[in-house]
Amino acid sequence: MFDFFQRQRFFIFGLLVALCVGGIVAVNGLPVEPVPDISPRQVMVSATVPGLATEEVEKLLTFPMEVSFTGLPGVIDLRSVSRTGVAVVYLQFEDHTNIDFDRTLVAERLTTARDNIAVPHVSIQMGPRATGMGEIMQFQLVGPGYSLMDLNRVLQWNVIPQLKLLPGVADVNGNGGAEETYQVVLDPVRLRAYNVSVPEVYSAMDANNASAGGGWINHHAEQQVIIGRALINDLPSLGMIPVKMGKNGSVVRVKDVGRVVLGPRTRLGAATRDGKGEAVIGVVLMQDGASSNAVLSKINKTLPQIQHSLPPGMKIVPYYERSVLTEETISTVKENLVIGAFLVLFVLIVVLGDWRAALVISSAIPVALLCAFIGMRIFGVSANLLSLGAIDFGMIVDSSLVIIEHFLTIRQVEGEQRSVKDAAVQSARLVIRPVTFSIFVIIAVYLPILSLQGIEGKMFRPMAETVVMGLLTSLVYCFVCIPVLATVFLRHPVSEDHETRFIRFLRKYYDPALLWTEQHSRTVILGTTLLFILSMGLTFRLGGEFVPTLEEGSLAVAATRLPSASLDTVIEGVTREEKIIRSFPEVKTVVSNIGTAAIPTDPMGQNEADSFIILKPRSQWGSHHTTQSDLVRDMSAALKEKVPSASYEWSQPIQMRMDDLLSGVRTQLAISIYGDDLDELNGLAEQVSSVVNSVPGAADVALLGGGVMPFLHLDVDRDAAARYGVAVSDILDEITAIGGYVGKSVILNNSIIPVQVSLAHISVNSISKIEKLPIHRADGHGWVPLGSVCKVVSVDGWTRIDRDRVHRRIIVQANVRGRDVSSFVSQAQQAVQDKVKMPPGYQIVWAGQFQNLRSAVARLLLVLPIAFAVIFALLIAALGSVKASSLVFINLPIAATGGILALYVRGMPFSIAAGIGFIALFGVAILNGVVLVSQIRIFEKEGMNIRQASLEAAKARFRPVMATASVASLGFFPMAFSGSMGAEVEKPLATVVIGGLITSTLLTLIVFPTLYARVFKTVE
């Protein structure tokens, strides 16, 4: 086989060029993201009825929709949020399902949902086909001299439709300003004077804004289409609509009973920016599975065309693009990979003393990386911080290093007696079995990661897949290409002593240390055991978190006020907050979303606001703040001091969206209490909140949407209505007019403008005035005050009702600062269990990122023994001895010791990223053990006794073991000490590998030979 490769060297070089070209092409089409998209398979359905109270929304909208969607195949969670005027249902499907098929199933049930809802004029729609990481661009529409309604109309009917035409754009969520409407403001006095009821105005307006088709007629030789038109085209024609016609030709028109004006529709939210007041903004949502960089590129190319279609003076001003974070994190990965590659090359030159051999070995790096890119493109794996950040070039070059090491040894011993070609072929033949076994052992170590499910699987499985693809490529490359490259580029003579000064310097201290260890074996073994026990004790002090928090370069703060706060009051308060935040020199801009946007992906109350703080690049920060956490601390203190009327919760845009998708809240921890009675739930939540807030590390502890606000209940007295001859439907129509009845829309200049009918504000701004509203009797003769047929009562009602699996729940949310999440949750759970007693029928459920950590650890504890059994079987097959395989396995706990000590010294908690580091470490540790045992066996076959074979093998394999450990550890050095954006996710992984390789290498080279000699001497 190897002779064939030597004969086909030009074909192999051509194949390499083709692979490189294919890899470069694959890179250009590779989806690029800052982190893996861990969004669940979720479909959102929303229903909107402005003005309907929260409990009525739950009863009349949310519950019928939930019932309609139960029983859908693949649904694993069904939760909902009910707020004044809006209901949102979230259906989470199993990860293996097809999202388009899931949406089709939901769409089929929408008809049933509409039939189950008894409320008229309900707008039910399915959410966009986007994920939690779909918000890739945010922009503001500005225009001096234009009103907020003008800007909102252009955004909704000009900008958004054009953006939605672009491939990869799922939708564009607009917020701010107000939807423009044709308004009829009715005067109760005029209505009574003209003897016109509110329902008559509704009917007249709907009937006089329509068109009809009359088919066609044949006229002479032509066919003429007939259409009847009675559409409203402007405000004067709306005012001219007849409401009532008398016998003598008298007509009462809409303009006679009220004012016809342009006005804003009842709105559920607003937007502000930089403390300058209200703004109109748009958020571009990317389709599930699309590449953010590709979609953003199309958007930026299209924006100038859209700009030309805007009215004079209007401009689209983007203020946030995902590509900034993506470029920063990918730049960190590129920097680490490039530095890692050069460090590996440098170590190879230092250890081998031959720059040509180092270059030949290092050639495996670009080839393995490009082939991994091809595999990522084929299997749909995005290039991100985790999928690329865990690639260790040290492991990639290990197999090639072993072949070249043997090649140089053969050339050193035999010199010109053997041709370069034969030496290259012979070196590959000698190591094909151990190298193949070693690579498959490392791959087997990664099998537990490939078994992860759920959120942790989405995050870490792509990383393992990328590493495995790189390792398999390096294995094929080392046997197909390395011998050929050695034949071509390593023809120079090799000196008899080709050890470098660095290796000779290390060997000067290593040989005496090895002899001392052999003479004091019991002391060394005891010390090693004690060190391991110490590290096991330190594991309980590390704490735990799912993954380290990625600093996104942006912040998000959620401000919550009293539920009864009006929208104008909240806008004024948020504007003050923005001015305070903008006073920090690190802030580039701040944009706030108040209440619920057009697409209610996150239905908030009008008393809630999310402020997105875009920070300047870290290089432009002053000396006041060195870390993002310091900046958050000072911002939070300033807001609490100057605007104490709100509570604040801090997060980051992507992190907040992911937390919301995973647990229904925008914080790290969600404590859900399930039950039926809202008052009882609220009391329990207050107790839990108080207890959790007392636990060290608690931050931003609050009830999600908690609190009540005043509602004005108008309960119809059916008996009184019957006695007075008033129809219940007329009473409800009158009540609807207080907030506004939305009739048929007017289509004008490519805009759809709703028509809204409402009573004049001055006639409904108090309870007494509402009670005096006149209701027309059913027989048309006389009027009855609304208070005579309705009981008007002011009561406190809930602002938000959450449901999960068709049961009510209330949520206590919290963040953790200054300690790891895992230990905080354990302490908080114990405190709540001791101090809060749950009544029968009520239960408490804890959710958040710590769940993902526990789920991943539980999965790994189940799968790791299986993987280790597979590795042990491979070792037995490779070494032919259970005893020897067991000794190699001793490397694992010693390697773990170094990783644990490194985490402890650097103050890092255990995370899944650190766990991946341990797994990668075990692969290299086993590889070094196999190399040493194989050499001991060779010397034993040559006639040496066990003690001599062990010591001579350690001396002989000193250089390759040092080379393997050095390239593997130094390959991770850039990750471990990088200060660039995104490095915090990679640091635990790199720290574990570097620390573990130090102890593992010391064990392999110093302790292992003595331990091997003692064990096998006893056996003999």
Q: What is the pLDDT of residues 563-612, one digit of tens each?
A: 888 888 999 999 999 999 999 988 999 999 988 776 666 778 888 898 99
Packing angle, helices 364-379 and 454-480, rounded to 10 = 140
Residue 315: pLDDT above 80?
yes
Planar angle of CA 263, 269, 271, nearest 5 degrees: 95
Rounded CA separation 147/178 (Å):
10
Rounded CA separation 581/646 (Å):
15
Lowest model confidence (mean pLDDT) among 398-407, 657-666, 794-803, 822-831: 657-666
Rounded CA separation 281/319 (Å):
10
Cα dihedral angle (712, 599, 660, 50), rounded to 10 degrees?
10
pLDDT bin (cut points 50, 70, 90) of residue 1020 is very low
Packing angle, helices 912-941 and 1008-1019, rounded to 10 = 50
- Contact in structure between 7 and 359 (CB atoms under 8 Å): no
Residues 6+ apart with CB under 8 A from 633: none
Residue 1: pLDDT above 60?
no
Which helix (H) or strand (E) covers residue 715, if one does?
A: strand 708-716
Residue whose C-alpha is closest to residue 700's, from 596, 809, 779, 818: 818
Reported as half-sphere exposure (CB side, CA atoms, 13 A), residue 623 has a value of: 0
Q: What secondary structure letter does DSSP report for 676?
A: S
pLDDT at res. 477 = 86
Q: What is the mean pLDDT of the chain?
A: 83
Exposure string over 501-537, b if 16+ CB within 10 A, otherwise e: ebbeebbeebeeebeebbeebeebeeebeeebeebee
Residue 470: pLDDT above 60?
yes
Q: Locate tokens 């104008």: which residue? A: 568
- Contact in structure between 916 and 446 (CB atoms under 8 Å): no
Residue 630, number of CB atoms within 10 A of its CB: 12
Higher-scoring residue by pLDDT: 125, 960: 125
Tokens, residue 506: 């290390």
Task: Supply φ then ψ for residue 270, to 5 degrees.
Answer: -160, 175
Q: Locate tokens 């990668």: which residue? A: 920
For the segment 696-732, what is each residue's pLDDT rounded down to a tens digit?
A: 888 888 888 767 788 888 999 999 999 999 999 999 9
Write down the pTM of the prediction.
Answer: 0.80
Q: What mean pLDDT is predicted for residues 639-652?
A: 88
Residues 6+ apart with CB under 8 A from 358: 345, 348, 349, 352
Residue whose C-alpha is closest to residue 689's, from 556, 828, 563: 828
Rounded CA separation 850/911 (Å):
10
Residue 1011: pLDDT above 50?
yes
Rounded CA separation 852/860 (Å):
12
Tokens, residue 120: 């008229």
- pLDDT-above-90 percentage for the chain: 19
Residue 971: pLDDT above 60?
yes
Residue 442: pLDDT above 70?
yes
Task: Supply φ then ψ for residue 856, to 5 degrees.
Answer: -65, -45
**Which own/partner pairs from 520-525 qualify as long-range (CB within 8 Å, at least 24 positions apart)?**
521/1010, 521/1011, 521/1014, 524/1006, 524/1007, 524/1010, 525/1007, 525/1010, 525/1011
pLDDT bin (cut points 50, 70, 90) of residue 7 is low
pLDDT at res. 1019 = 46
- Contact in structure between 928 and 1001 (CB atoms under 8 Å): yes
Residue whose C-alpha is closest to residue 208's, from 239, 249, 246: 239
* DSSP helix/strand/coil, 137: strand
Tokens, residue 996: 């573990």
Q: Which stretch, 289-303, 370-384, 648-662, 920-934, has highest mean pLDDT?
A: 289-303
Tokens, residue 825: 């949750």
For the segment 323-382, what is each residue's pLDDT rounded down to a tens digit?
A: 777 777 777 777 777 877 888 888 888 877 778 888 888 888 888 888 888 888 888 787
Q: What mean pLDDT is predicted for residues 995-1014?
A: 82
Residues 6+ apart with CB under 8 A from 765: none
Residues 6+ apart with CB under 8 A from 626: none
Instruction: State the DSSP string of 384-450.
Output: -HHHHHT--HHHHHHHHHHHHHHHHHHHHHHGGGS-HHHHHHHHHHHHHHHHHHHHHHHHHHHHHHH
For the segment 485-513, what is each residue's pLDDT rounded down to a tens digit?
A: 888 887 777 666 656 777 788 888 888 88
pLDDT at res. 862 = 77
The alpha carbon of residue 527 and the mean position of all alpha carbons in its chain are separated, in whole angstroms, by 45
Residue 608, number of CB atoms within 10 A of its CB: 26
Planar angle of CA 753, 759, 763, nearest 5 degrees: 150
Backbone dihedral region of 218: left (phi > 0), alpha (psi from -120 to 50 degrees) or beta?
A: beta
Cα dihedral angle (923, 926, 930, 933), rounded to 10 degrees?
170
- Contact in structure between 868 and 441 (CB atoms under 8 Å): no
Packing angle, helices 983-1002 and 912-941, rounded to 10 = 30
pLDDT bin (cut points 50, 70, 90) of residue 789 is very high
Rounded CA separation 217/286 (Å):
49
Residue 760: pLDDT above 80?
yes
Q: What mean pLDDT is predicted for residues 43-62?
A: 87
For the segment 206-237, what is each residue's pLDDT rounded down to a tens digit?
A: 889 888 888 888 888 888 889 988 888 888 99
Q: What mean pLDDT is predicted for residues 666-695?
A: 88
β partners of residue 907: none
Q: Is 938 exposed, middle or buried, given 0-12, 13-18 or 19+ CB atoms closer than 10 A?
A: middle
Which helix (H) or strand (E) covers residue 710, if one does?
A: strand 708-716
pLDDT at res. 722 = 93
Rounded CA separation 766/681 (Å):
32
Q: What mean pLDDT is predicted for residues 632-638?
A: 90
Planar angle of CA 180, 183, 186, nearest 5 degrees: 160
- Contact in structure between 149 and 180 (CB atoms under 8 Å): yes
CA 607 to each of CA 53, 193, 556, 560, 595: distance values in angstroms, whole numbers, following the listed order? 15, 40, 17, 6, 7
Q: Which stretch, 405-409, 514-518, 684-688, has highest mean pLDDT?
A: 684-688
The alpha carbon of residue 76 and the mean position of all alpha carbons in its chain are separated, in whole angstroms, by 19
Lowest model confidence (mean pLDDT) among 81-90, 635-644, 927-936: 927-936
Q: What secondary structure letter does DSSP report for 383?
A: B
Residue 985: pLDDT above 80?
no
pLDDT at res. 18 = 81
Residues 6+ apart with CB under 8 A from 340: 392, 393, 970, 971, 972, 973, 974, 975
pLDDT at res. 394 = 74
Rounded CA separation 240/420 (Å):
101
For the segment 527-549, what is each residue's pLDDT rounded down to a tens digit?
A: 888 888 888 888 777 777 777 77
Residue whose C-alpha is closest to residue 1002's, from 499, 532, 354, 362: 532
All structural domains of the chain: 1-30+353-495 (1.20.1640.10), 33-127 (3.30.70.1430), 181-211+228-265+726-786 (3.30.2090.10), 499-541+881-1019 (1.20.1640.10), 554-584+619-709+801-847 (3.30.70.1320)
